[in-house]
Structures are given as structure tokens and as C-alpha cells.
Structure 1
Amino acid sequence: MTFGWCFSVCILFVLVGLRLEEANAQFLREVGTKKLAYWSIVVDQSGHGNFTTIQSAIDSVPSQNMYWVSIKVKAGIYREKVKIPYDKPYIILKGEGKRRTFVEWDDHHNTSQSPTFVAMADNLVVKSISFRNSYNNPTNRKLIKPAVAAMVSGDKSYFFRVGFFGLQDTLWDDTGRHYYKLCTIQGAIDFIFGAGQSLFERCSISVIGGALDAGLPGFITAQGRTNSEDGNGFVFNYCHVFGNGTTYLGRPWRSHARVLFYKTNFSNVVQPAGIITVDQSGNGDFSKIQSAIDSVPSNNKQWIYIKVNEGTYREKLKIPEDKPYIILKGMGRDKTFVEWGDHDSSAQSPTFLTMANDIVVKTISFRNTFNDPKNGNSMKPAVAAMISGDRSSFYGVGFYGLQDTLWDDKGRHYFNCCAIEGAMDFIFGAGQSLYESCSISVREACPGKAIIGFITAQGRTNPADENGFVFKNCKVYGVGKTYLGRPWRAYARVLFYKTQMSSIIQPLGWQPWNSSADVKQVTRLICSSKLEIYAEMEWHSRSTIILVLVRHCLGENRIVPALYVFGDSTVDAGNNNNLNTLAKANLFSYGIDFNSCSTGRFSNGKTFADLIAIRLGLPMPPPYLGLSKFERHQIVTGINYTSGSCGILNSTRSGDCLSLDKQIEYFTSTVANDLPRSIHNKTELRHYLFNSIFLLSIGSNDYMLNYFKYPNGTNNNLNLEKYADYLLEQLASRIKRIYDLGARKFVVNRIGQIGCTPTCVIRTPYSQKCNEDINQKVKHYSDKLTGKLQELQTQLSHSLFINLDNYNFS
């Protein structure tokens, strides 16, 4: 993709954005002696508007119009063909929802004459409406022919929540710069085609390949770029491809076709051209990962995607130098494992070895099992992964071992949201590497023996070398004691920046490889109210480690032992990333102010639960489903069990989520199975739970996704006041279950002003203000919450309840 192309697309958004600002203002025009709003055209089939057909409304717009005209189309199915000609720009065409306002026709004689909707004018905005060409409807039992639902030929056109429905040639994205957001596009054959310069963002691409003859695959795109200098092309950003039958992502309509799918979810309807599937059960192309790697051509120059299904693969893997451009992706680092137990020499022991350049590895784990305690072996170097190629990146990958876990050998490497576990020199080598938002889990080198471990052993050999390790926004935790590192070579270089560290870190931080007799040390530690540490230590005046940390000094400044969090998307820290749901916050721009890493929080930055943890001197509670079994055994500072789109009631949900009952079930497991591994004395465990804080933020979805969403549902037999009483009784019963597990100190959040959320604001007609009607309806719950908590505090001995208003939280 050229810079010029990207720049042009960005300019399109700026132009459309500026025009939309104008459209949102209320301009008036003089008509005779009156001043009328120019946006006041209404189309209603029932005769209660200015026109009964959409085309009549468009025809009424003056030729060469220079002002924005809004045409509002009431709900209904409009059987007509609609055309916006060249000389009628600045039109806003808005329906009442893409599932409520339809325009349909069934022309098919030739492609250019068949469109139900044609937009030839520049500066066009279309919202909340659907266009359908019904000719190829399977119930018609006709031979499939090109039948266009919409043809877009004008420049600077914007489509928001628009539906395009057809079978073949559904959307003709002909020419010009276009932006499609939250649209639905349905078809089977070449159903997004043309030579537009277009961005499709967060769109749903629905494949209906089942309408084709058996065994016949479809094609989503047919892009028409005719030469290498053309700026046009299709970009699909954060979209979702699903449906039935099978389909290819596209085929070139013209010789220089250009299509990019970026961070887009694909279901199994997409034909795996360029995709190799590994499945132990025999339902893939290979049952062994190494066999899939071996199938990649030598000196490959195109990206090859190797998808590894769930399971534990007992094999050693090697990507040799002559097999670059491989994407190796598992189904989750807690679901797809590669393990082996070699240890004869460091160079021969890696479970996973990559020597090629341009390698991407995602959501898979590598483990060297030799040093597992159950094996009874004395500790030896046993490498889980060795990275020797250049330009290698790892996302959500797990590296598990004890000594020499990750050999970051040489080359430029990027590790994002990875988990690295070990005890002795377990991140070592001479790579030039950035570790961002990674979890560094420290194990005891020899349980029962007072052996202090080392996290890093960096191998820079001379001051001119550019290599070194940078740890940014990471967290270090675990058991036993450890140093941050020691120099494997004379000019070792390591930087820890804004990294959370538990009290397992030795205060000295850094140790020489052998004798400390010739060590020159400069150390300055600050553990103030800002909870910052800066330390610089020089060894032999050559090797350095620099710490610039936002650190919680857990041994000294921790106000309470732990913070446990239950609730919904207001405090979800990423559990939904591990569930089969569309309610995920793992996309840009979530997390834009959180290390630019979308962690699963439904926020641009930290949640208020994170801020409370920081105020208490605790690390931010990690999401339960994002933790490995080992990590769950080690964490004693609190866990986040929350899940977006769930509520107090089990019937409240949108897709898969963790109900409050399920969250409490996981906490029960934490108390019974995990905490006793770190807190061995039952009295100490009771004291720990007694002094910990339990935060609950939940209830808004019980209105938005239950009471308001299903007006004829079971709960709607109750009026608003009785429904609030019912919710509070259900909440109280679940709080009592948490109390019975040992909790005593509760912070319970009120339901905020959900009428001020974007979802509610955009549903308020002609307003950008809060929906006060919704705010008043949920007020019954919030007003009664205080009394319910006082009642619980009276009933439950030694309990303490705080009613939190996070809407005014600071």
C-alpha cells in the first residue's frame, strides 16, 4: 500500500468529517417571507410526510444544490428505484434503521441498469437504511444473474449503518472516495466490486454461498484497479466475515486489483488459499506443525498462514533460514501448546527454533518440560524458544521453562502481551528486542532452597552493538526471590520502563555474573507517594541496567492485601477476549491511552477499578480468563472476574459472557484451589480475605439488555420500582455467597447515568444530549441501593459496605 493512497483515504475522512459538522448545524434558508430549515424533507408511505416516495424527495432538491439537504425516510419497504444524479450533491439520506427502512427492486437486464440505488453526486451521506435487489432471491428460482443493490459513483460519500443485500454484484463501489462504517453487505459472487478508493470499517460481510450450486465457491471482492498508478483500492478494517457455504476473499476484476483485510475476523466460510491448518485429530492439512512448516517452499516470498488448532503438540519445531514470511497462529496461549523435554545442550534443547527473517507468531505457547518438578530432574538449561531471525514479532505468546526459557539470540524482535516464565536467566541472548505489556512470571529455582534467581542475562559484547532488552509497561510477579538480571557479556544492556514489580525483586536489583569485587555501583531508589523508582547500576563501568518504573512497593505501601472485582463492561479488564462474543474491546481505539494496547477494557484507558487498585498500592487486577493455571496459583493481590454484556440476572446477556453466578464460581475456585498454594495457613487465609476489598459494578445491562430490550419479557410484568427491588434482592443473595467465602469489605457501584452513554445518546432524536427518560427509569435502583447495603451490613456480622458513585468518581 502506497503512502499516497493512505493519504488520500485520510483526506477523504477529513472532508467528509468537515461536511458532517456543517450538516449537524441548523442552517436556515429564506422561502418567500419565511425562514425554513433546509433539512426538513420527510418521506412517509402513509402520507404523513412531504412525499410518499424517496425519488420524489430527491427530485425536489434544486439542481446544483450547494446546501446540505436532509431527507428523512420513515420505516417501511419502498418498492422503487432511487437515483441521485450528478447535479444534486450535499444530500443526507437517512432511514429509521437498516432493519426498518428498506428500498428494493429486482432489475437485472444489465449491470449498469440494474441498481436499486444509484448515487452519482458528490458529498453524499447515507444512514440507517437498506438497499436490496431481490431478483436473485432463492425463492424466485431463477438463474443467478448480476443484480446490483447499490452503485456508488460520486466522490466523498459516507455510509453509516447501511445495508446492501443481494447475491451477485451486490455493491458496485464504482469510482470516488467512499467510507463505509458499521454497514452490512450480503452476497455470494463478486458482491463488493468496482474501482472505488474505499474504507470499510467495522462492517459485517455476510456470505450466502449456500444459495450457490453445491461445491461452487463464491468471491467477496472483485476490485477494478487498472494500473499501478491508480490510487483506488478496498481496505477492510476491523470487519467480520461470516455466513454459509465457502468463499474466497476475492479475485481481480482488473489487472492491478488491490484489496487489504486488516484485523478482520474470518469464520470458516473463507477458503484457505494461503492458509495451512494443523489439527491433531486429522481435520486439517497436517497433524504435525513441523510438517506444515516443511511444506512451505524454500526461499518463500509470500506470507503463509499456518493455523494451529487447540491441543498439546509433542514435537520440536524449527523454521529454517530459507522459510521466511510465515505467520504461525494458535487458538490461544492457554489452548494451543507445543512442548518437548530436551536439555542436552542449550543450542540443541529449544522446543521452538526460528532462524528465518520476517516471522509472526500469535496466541500459542512453547514449553520445555525437562525441569518440571514432577520429572524429578536436577535443574539444567532447557530452552523453550530460540529466536535468531530478524524482524520477528510475537503477540500473546507463552514461553514456559525454568532455566534459559527464552533465548532471544539475535535480530530485531517485538514481544507484545506475551507471558514468559522461569527462574534462572530465563530471558537471555543478544537480541535487539522490545517487550511491551508482557507478564514476567518468576518461579522458584529449587523449591525449599534459598536460591535467588535472575530474570535477564543480556549478551551485548561491545559498546558499538545496538542490541539490548527493553521492557515497557510489563509486570513482574511470582514466588521466591529474584534479581532483575546479570550481564552474560561485558556490555549487557537492559531497560525496564513503567513496569510493575512485586516484592520478589531483590532491592539490589542487579548482580554481576561472577565476583563483585570490581563492581562500580550507583544506586538511587525512591519509594514515595508517587510510587516511582529510578535506579541506575553500572557493572565494570560497562554493562548497565536502567529502571524507570511506575512501581507499587508492595511490601511497604500496600494498604490492603488484595482487590477482587466482579461486574460488567464498566470494569471488564479483558475476560471477554477469551469468550465467543462480539462484545469485545480488543480493537482500536480501545486502550489508546493504555500503552496504546487494546487490553479488553471497554475504555480508552484504565477503568475505575484499576484506579482504585493503584490508590491502594496494588497492581491492577488481571482478568481471570487471561491467566494460566500457574499464574492463578501465584497471584495474591486480586483478580478481575468481570464480563461485558452480562448482568445480575442470568437471563441478562448478549452473546457469551460470564454471569455474576459464574464469576462467583470462579472466585470460589480461587479461594479453594489457588490461594492455599501461596497462603498455607487457614487462619492467615481468613485474615487475608477479611482485609481484602471486593468491588462490584453491575446492573446497567439488566436494564439495557433485558428490561428495556424485551418489553414483553417475563421481568416486564414488574413496574420499574418493583423491578429495582427484584434486582437488589438478586444482588444481595450473590453478595451473601461472596461473604460466605470469607469476604467482609464490599464496595458496590451504583448504576450510572446510562442515558448519557453513546448508545442512548444516538437514539435520542435530533439531540446530542443525555436521554433523561432512561436516567430517571434506572434511578429507582440507585436510590434504593444504599438502603439495601445498610440492610446487608446489619445482617452480616463484621461486614462493611460502601456505596460508590463512579459517575462522580475522582
Structure 2
Amino acid sequence: MVNTKVTSLVSIITFVFIFFVELSESQKLAPALYVFGDSNVDVGNNNKLDISAKTNYLPYGIDFPGATPGRPTNGYNIADFFAEALGLSVPPPFNSINISSYTNTEGLNYASSMSGILDDTGTAMFPGITTLRGQIEMFKKTVREQLRKVLKKKNGEEVKRHLSKSIVLVVSGVNDFALNLLRNERMDRRSIDHDAFSQDLRMYNLGARKFVVFDVEALGCLPFVVDMAFPAKPRCVDELNSLISQLGNTTMSEATFVVAKNYHYYLNLAQNPAKFGLKEGFKPCCGVNKYGTCDSLQKTCRDRKDYVFFDGFHLTQQAYKVLATQCFNATSSDAACVPINLQNLAKL
């Protein structure tokens, strides 16, 4: 009698467990989110590298659960909000886990601050950063050492299905322009086009099929640039934005990817913050040093939900949230993401 009750109890517990696991799986709009790019989506990968290009100190991450430094904003970034909207856990930094024993298949973040599309972007100033090419090698390692091991228990086609249904987010390119333009070095658009296409092709060959690619933000509206050009009466540097706008129309914007109109979003945010429920368009929330990054000894604003920028380069959590919401839901012709939104991309 006792054994029968125990067996029944175990059966009930097993059923409930399977039910909630399947319910959780059904609420996911995509199997995983894989994140590549620069400081706009870095969540701490650079913390593990022997380089100075890192934000491993407060106030960075001050509003993230556990106040975790390493992400160049006060809390969630655009990738974190995308994951949340897709019903996924926030992708952890690849450098913080042991990929061969990691069993969560909901995605990873490979982004590295100061990296760009070109292999040599940032590496002269910060040897040791993970280039976009290096990030894709990490993705390749994920497929080989994690996915093929964890998902093979189901069937041989599961890895292929997982990758084809997952979302790949690429936020890169501004450093290719900024680190060269600010040093008055000539940019070769064809090199960026070729490298961007080559990197996307590598991910495609690994099985990725759904891409969200961010175009280059309005560099001339970043507080660090605005403060250098117009310290008394802040406004965007139109000449620089014009050049970025011309250079930013790469082959990727003509592909079958979803393109996030980052340039226009940054421009509108800085010039019309009230339109997005914000107040301060050009002034950074934290006190910045001469490099435009937060100075831990200076004061940080309390009303962080009112600010567009957290430091001299990066958006606040609130600004990222506005963009993520528009990119996920908007369906109008002036939507943040085109030709379809993230929600519809996930349904394909």
C-alpha cells in the first residue's frame, strides 16, 4: 500500500514537472538568442580579458539585478530586453561560463567592447579584445561543444532546427567609423561591406537563419562628441552624422535580415527625448571622465529613467527599453525594425 502511494506520488510529481517544462517551452517565441557586437551589447565579456576597455565598476550595472558591473549602461541593454520579450533568460557572457558543461541552450552573449566589423578595429588601441571574427569562433565552439552534446539526446536534426529558429543579434560597426574618423583616418566602405557579409555568411553556414542587424548609430549625437563640438549649446554634429549616414548603408541593409534603424533612433532620441517619455537628450547621467566613460568618484543621476544617455556613448536602460519595445511590436512604416518586427521574425 505504501509503495503504491509512493509510486503514485512520484508519477504526479513527474507529470507536474513535465507539464511546466513543456509550458515554459511553449511560451518561448524562439529557442535562443545569440548576441554579437560591441559595447552596446557587451554584458561582461571584457571583464575576463587582460585589457583596459572594460566597465567593471559602479555605477555601471547599478540597476541590473545584483548590481553587476561589466555592462556599459546602468542596467539592461537592448539584447537583454530582446531576450525577455522572446520569453528567454538573459544570455550570459560567454567568457563567464564553461561551454563544455553549460546546459542552458537559450543563448549566449559573445560581444566585446571596442570591437568592430573589421578585424583591426580596436585591436591597435586595445590588444586582446574579441573581434567579431573571434566572437563567431566562440559561436562555432558553442555549436560544437555544447549544442551537439546537449541536443543530440533528442535527434540528429535538433541542432539544425535549434539554430534555424534562433535569433542572431548583431550590433557592430560604430567603432569601425569612430576609431578611424576621430583619428582622421580614411574609411573604406567596401572593406566594411565585405567583412560584414563574410561574417554573416559564416554564421549562416553554421546554421543561423534569422538575423537582427543594427545599423550604425548617429555618432554625431553622442554626448562625448557633442560636448567636444558644442559644449555651450549642445546639438548633434550634423556633418559627422551625414557622413555616417552615407557610410552606414551597407550590403546588410539590402539583405533578407531584419534591420534595426539605430541611426534614426539615436537621432530622434537626442533631439526629441520627450517624444519617448524622456527628458535629457544630450547630458550623460553619470559624471564622465575625459574619455567619456563614467567616473566612479563623480555623482550619478538619481532619475535615470529621464535620461537618454548613461555615459558619453551608451544609452540608459530606459532608452534601450523604448527601442526594444518598438522593434518587437511596431508595424508601421516608420517602425524601429524593418521590414518586419522581431515578434514576426520569431514566428517565421
TM bracket (short chain): 0.5 to 0.7
Q: SS of 1:665's equivalent?
A: helix
Matched letter for residue 81 of structure 2 = L
Match of 2:139 in 1: 667
Q: In the alignment, is residue 679 of structure 1 matched against residue 158 of structure 2?
A: no
Residue 615 (str. 1) matches residue 85 (str. 2): yes
**Aligned counterparts of 1:739 and 1:588: Cα–Cα separation in 2:** 38
The residue type equivalent to 1:562 in the other structure is A
Deviation at residue 806 of structure 1 after TM alignment:
3.9
Q: 1:688 aligns with which of 128, 140, 162?
A: 162
Mark the CA change 1:554 to 1:657 in structure 2 (over 3 Å): closer, same or farther: farther
Tell me how far 1:596 sits from its aligned partner: 5.4
Residues 629 and 739 of structure 1: CA distance in aligned 2, closer, same or farther (over 3 Å): closer
Query: Residues 608 and 697 from structure 1, CA distance in 2 versus in 1: closer, same or farther, beyond 3 angstroms?
Result: same
Deviations 1:433-461 (A, max 9, x none): xxxxxxxxxxxxxxxxxxxxxxxxxxxxx
Tell me how far 1:774 sits from its aligned partner. Answer: 2.0
Match of 1:638 in 2: 107
- After TM superposition, give the deviation of residue 703 of structure 1 in Å: 1.1
Say if 1:588 and 1:599 are closer, same or farther in 2 by CA, change over 3 A: closer
- Structure with bigger helix share is 2
Q: Whole-Å Cα distance in 2 between the matches of residues 580 and 704 of structure 1? A: 23
Distance 2:236 2:183 in 1: 22
Q: Kindly state the Cα deviation for residue 773 of structure 1 after the two structures are TM-superposed.
A: 2.3
1:768 aligned residue: 234
Q: Equivalent residue of 2:229, what SS? A: coil
Q: How many residues align?
A: 249
Give the match for residue 803 of structure 1.
259
Q: State the partner residue of 2:204.
A: 739
Which has more radius of gyration? 1
The answer to whether the aligner puts 1:585 opposite 2:96 as a matched pair is no
The whole-number CA distance in structure 2 between the counterparts of 1:664 and 1:629 is 14
User: 2:106 aligns to what SS in structure 1?
Assistant: coil
Give yes or no for the alignment of 1:506 onto 2:17: yes
CA–CA distance in structure 1, aligned partners of residues 69 and 101 of structure 2: 18
Match of 1:708 in 2: 181
Change (3 A) 1:755 1:554: farther
Is the CA contact (8 Å cut-off) linking 2:59 and 2:74 kept in structure 1? yes
Aligned-partner Cα distance in 2 for 1:553–1:755: 46
Q: Is the 8 A contact 1:566 1:640 kept in 2?
A: yes
Counterpart contact for 2:169–2:213, Cα < 8 Å: yes
Task: Check 1:599–1:557 CA distance in 2 against 1; reply closer, same or farther (3 A cut).
Answer: farther
Corresponding letter in the other structure for 1:652: T
Greater fraction of residues in strand: 1
Q: AA paired with 1:665? A: E
Equivalent residues of 2:62, 2:69 under 8 A apart: no
How far has the Cα of 1:617 moved from its partner? 0.5
Q: Which residue of 2 aligns with 1:594?
A: 64
Counterpart residue identity of residue 802, structure 1: V
Residues 101 and 146 of structure 2 are in contact (CA less than 8 Å); yes or no, is this contact kept in structure 1?
no
Which amino acid in structure 1 is aligned with residue 26 of structure 2?
Answer: E
Check 1:781–1:631 CA distance in 2 against 1; reply closer, same or farther (3 A cut).
farther
Q: Which runs of 5+ in 2 are unaligned?
A: 1-12, 266-322, 326-348
Do the aligned partners of 1:728 and 1:781 also contact (CA within 8 Å) in 2? no
Helix, strand or coil: the match of 2:157? helix
RMSD of Structure 2 on Structure 1 (CA)? 2.8
Distance 1:599 1:506, change over 3 A: farther
Matches within 5 A, 1:513-552: none
CA drift at 1:507: 7.7
Match of 2:121 in 1: 652
Secondary structure of the corresponding residue to residue 695 of structure 1: strand
C-alpha contact (below 8 Å) 2:148/2:159 kept by paired residues: yes
Q: Measured at CA, do residues 738 and 630 of structure 1 come closer, stay the same or move farther in structure 2, by a change above 3 Å?
A: closer
CA contact (8 A) 2:41 2:171 kept: yes
**Secondary structure of the corresponding residue to residue 228 of structure 2:** coil
State the alpha-carbon separation in 2 of the partners of residues 773 and 621 from structure 1. Answer: 37
CA contact (8 A) 1:575 1:623 kept: yes
CA contact (8 A) 1:725 1:781 kept: no
User: Offset of 1:789 from its aligned partner?
Assistant: 4.0
Q: 1:564 aligns with which of 29, 34, 39?
A: 34
Q: Is the 8 A contact 2:100 2:145 kept in 1?
A: no
CA contact (8 A) 1:608 1:806 kept: no
- What's the secondary structure of 2:17's corresponding residue? coil
User: Does structure 1 conserve the Cα–Cα contact (< 8 Å) formed by 2:38 and 2:114?
Assistant: yes
Q: Is the 8 A contact 2:59 2:69 kept in 1?
A: no
Q: Which residue of 1 aligns with 2:296?
A: none
For the residue of structure 1 that corresponds to 2:34, the secondary structure is: strand
Offset from partner CA, 1:232-268 (integer Å, 9 cap, x none): xxxxxxxxxxxxxxxxxxxxxxxxxxxxxxxxxxxxx
Shift of 1:770: 2.3
AA aligned to 2:71 is R
TM-score scaled by length of structure 1: 0.29
- Matched with 2:291 is none
TM-score of the pair, normalised by structure 2: 0.66
Structure 1 residue 630: Cα displacement: 4.8
Identical residues among aligned pairs (%): 34
Question: CA offset at residue 788 of structure 1?
Answer: 3.6
Q: Displacement of 1:728 after TM fit?
A: 1.7
Contact 2:165–2:210 at 8 Å: present in 1 too? Answer: yes
Report the CA distance shift for 1:631/1:506 in structure 2 as closer, same or farther (over 3 A). Answer: same
CA separation of 1:774 and 1:589: change in aligned 2, threshold 3 A: same
On the 8 A contact 1:564/1:693 being kept in 2, the answer is: yes
Partner-residue secondary structure (3-state), 2:164: helix
Give the secondary-structure state (helix, strand or coil) at the position aligned to 1:591: coil
Partner of 1:729: 194
Q: CA deviation at 1:553?
A: 6.1
Cα 1:637–1:761 shift into 2, 3 Å: same
Contact kept, 8 Å, 2:58 with 2:69, in 1: the verdict is: no
Residue 573 of structure 1: aligned partner: 43
Matches of 1:553 and 1:806 in 2, distance apart?
Answer: 34
Cα deviation for residue 600 of structure 1 reads 1.3
- Paired with 1:682 and 1:710, the residues of 2 have a C-alpha distance of 50
| Larger relative contact order (CA 8 Å, sep ≥ 6) | 2
| Separation in structure 2 between the aligned mates of residue 672 and residue 685 of structure 1, nearest angstrom | 10
Shift of 1:769: 2.3
CA distance, structure 2, for counterparts of residue 755 and residue 627 of structure 1:
37
